[in-house]
Amino acid sequence: MLPADSFGESKTKGDSVNLLEKNLTALTNKDRELAERIAKHIVSDVPQLVNENGFYNLVYKNTYLHNRQNPLAEAKEIFSMAENSPVAIHLVYGLGLGYLFQVASAKSAGTVILYEPDLNILKIAFSLVDFSNDILKNNVFISDSLEKTGEYIYQKSNTKNTPLMLTTPAYRDMNTQKFNEMVETLQRMVGRYNLDLKYTQQKFFPIARTIIQNIPNLIKEPPLSSIKDFYKGQTAVVVSAGPTLDRNIETIKKYRDNIVLIVVGTAMKTIAKHGITPDFLCIIETYDSSKQIEDLDLSEVNFITEPFSNINLRKFKFKQIYSHISDNMPVNSFWSNIINENTEEYLSKGTVSYTALNVARILGCSKIVMVGQDLAYIEGQCYSKDSAYKDLECRFNKDNNRWEITAKDFDSFADSLSNYPEREKRLEAARTRLKNLNNSLYYVKSIKGEQIPTESVYAAFIKPLSEFAQRFNDREFINTSLEGAQIDGYKNMPLEEALKETKPISNRNIISDYKFDIADIKNKLKQETVRLNNILEEVKNGQKSVKNLNNDFKRYKNATVEVLKDLKKVSGIFLKLSTAYTNTLFDFITAKDRIELDYAMKMSKSFEPENLETLITKFAAYFDNAEIAINSINARINKAIGEIE
């Protein structure tokens, strides 16, 4: 029932109390905390209920929240302009009296997320309109915070859908700046979620393969926690490849004996060129990024990397390699379970600078100083002049009135970017990289308060770095960029000032008694092959069932009882495999086809012949590719066991 029909001629206090309780009871079943916040909230700025042209409306802060002529028609028109499919995410911003929310609830074939940050409106609306049936729907979610809204979006996201913002002009115009900031934040969230999903879909199988391929090396790479707090109370300098690194080289040299020096891969050539040897080098890429460190003497450098990082990185001679088993990468759970290592210490956000900060924390450093962490383009420079990507520059193009990233020496940039033996492949990779960089140009607030250009990816790093400092506020965090992006939680000061009170570190001789249980590792790897072979039997059952489904569909060419029985059996096997083995090796190696099949199933709300044909094709691909993946992974595991022995 829509709001216009849900009001009587008058509302008593008792009616309002009953409606509030009814709505809160429904909400309690889905989000108890929000229901309790609404119940306890004391309305401080009461919206005014008015009746014009036969429709009720709310006036809040001198603004009508709905169209004054026909709020119901307004809501229907807004919803009619949105795509409506089983995977659609209809994000309704602003409840008001619920016209748009209830239209979306009634008509959406996908998911409805109501985001209303104002508890005044939530409580008043819940006291005036019966939303209980809407709230109880499985596809409806309500939130009063961007964080919770983001969680709901993430749950329902797919690589082929994005949230559709639905709101009234009044809500947009009430505070334009706040609305634009909210949209910008949501866009960053959605972009990050889509990247996560695409990463899951495209990378989990290759990453799982790489981890298994790396096992003969991994059994020589102790977890970083094995040397936890070795540098307790010392000062760490984390070096990134931003333009301001060049201005701090001499100061790093001056205080080298007083600091724990941690360098990310792109900055290593700059540091090495000036005769500086770091204590630790961090590289976490899955692709072959060995160009960053080729031709360097790394024999006195400790290397910190991920179990899934490219195998070619392990061909260099390091003093010691330590594993940083990031907890935000589900595939890492395979290796952490094999060696019984808790991953809670290994905080990561996908950027090597964040990993390097966490390394300093695990090592026990009480002062952590960032150098070259500009997260922006400074005076046309994208990176330090001696870094691996020194040829990139960012300049304002007056002809098209926009900032552009170009390569001063395109061939040199292409050579530094990839290891393809064919020149044309290197050039194509460089062209693609430049295109992506320019498509993702962004602007952030600088330390000086002005807007400066950067990549959207770098802009996304700012908040995680800030949150890291806030979370571990028992330590001192300093940013020495002075011209780059503002990162809250860090003191902005010159490197000289940050290090002037430091004293020489007397002991850098790291000794760890950590030992891998090789017999246990081999035993667990063998158990994994047994588990995968057992799953393979279920996969083969799925293949047989898909074959029967396909034969019956060809025979009847429609959704007959026989075809639907076959479909139910096939769907049951898929659901069993996709739910019983969540976050297991099988789940990781079948992620791509599982995501695609899940999308196809959600889209196929009817059993028209073309929908059935698509489903059969997707089911066949899922089970056939699962068999191939299991056999491939088992072969790799057995090879790794043989190499260990």
One-letter amino acid for residue 508 of the chain: R
- 24 and 77 both lie in a single domain: yes
Tokens 């889209």 map to which residue? 603
Is residue 508 a part of any domain in this protein? Answer: no
Cα 289–Cα 294–Cα 295 angle in degrees, nearest 5: 175
What residue type is assigned to position 221 of the chain?
E
Average pLDDT rounded to a whole number, residues 446-474: 85
Tens-digit pLDDT profile for residues 96-138: 999 999 999 999 988 999 999 999 999 999 999 999 999 999 9
At 383 the pLDDT is 63
Amino acid at the residue 598? D
* Mean predicted lDDT score pLDDT of the chain: 88
Q: How many angstroms separate the Cα of 92 from the Cα of each of 145, 433, 636? A: 13, 36, 48
Residue 40 counted as domain residue: yes
Q: According to the model, what pLDDT value does residue 198 have? A: 60
Domain residues for the domain of 624 are 518-644
**What six digits make up the tokens of 605?**
């709300």
Q: What pLDDT does 589 receive?
A: 94
Tens of pLDDT, residue by residue over 396-412, are: 777 766 677 788 788 88
Q: Are 313 and 444 in the same domain?
A: yes
Do 277 and 362 belong to one domain?
A: yes
- The CATH number given to whatever domain includes residue 127 is 3.40.50
Q: CB–CB of 458/472 below 8 Å?
A: no
Task: Decide: 508 and 280 in contact? Cβ < 8 Å.
Answer: no
What contacts 21, CB < 8 A, 6 or more positions away? none
Conformation bin of residue 482: beta by default, left when phi > 0, alpha when psi is -120 to 50? left
- Please give the average per-residue pLDDT across 199-219, as a whole number: 88
* Three-state DSSP state, 407: strand
Band of pLDDT at residue 242, cut at 50, 70 and 90: confident
Please indicate, yes or no, if residue 251 is contained in any of the structural domains.
yes
Secondary structure (3-state) at 334:
helix
- In 3D, which of 540, 527, 274, 263 has the Cα closest to residue 386? 274
Residue in 341, 387, 67, 312 with CA at minimum distance from that of residue 224: 341
Residues 352 and 283 sit within 8 Å (Cβ to Cβ): yes
If asked whether residues 570 and 529 sit together in one domain, one would say yes
Q: Are residues 461 and 535 in the same domain?
A: no
Residue 402, domain member (yes or no) = no
In the DSSP assignment, the letter for residue 294 is T
**Do 574 and 523 belong together in one domain?**
yes
Whether residue 477 is found in the same domain as residue 606: no
Residues 593-601, mean pLDDT to the nearest whole number: 87
Instruction: Let me know whether 261 and 356 are in one domain.
Output: yes
DSSP single-letter state for residue 41: P
Q: Is the pLDDT of residue 10 over 90?
A: no
Please report the pLDDT score of residue 196 as a whole number: 58
Clarify whether residues 321 and 242 are in a common domain. yes
Triad 487, 488, 494: Cα angle to 5°: 60
Is 315 domain-assigned? yes
Q: Does residue 565 sit within a domain?
A: yes
CA atoms of 341 and 320, how far apart (whole Å): 19
Summarize pLDDT for 15-58 with one digit per residue, the tens: 666 899 999 999 999 999 999 999 999 988 888 899 988 899 99
pLDDT of 478 higher than 90: yes
Q: Residue 344, Cβ neighbours under 10 Å: how many?
A: 8
Structural domain count of the chain? 3
Together in a domain, 553 and 465: no
In a domain, 209, yes or no: no
Same domain? For 57 and 154 the reply is yes
Q: Are strands 55-60 and 48-52 parallel, antiparallel or unpaired?
A: antiparallel
Within-domain flag for 390: yes
Same domain, residue pair 385 and 466: yes
- State pTM to two decimals: 0.73
Task: Note whether 246 and 382 are within 8 A (CB).
Answer: no
- For residue 490, how far is the Cα from the chain centroid? 23
Single residue among 116, 149, 174 that ends a domain in this structure? 174
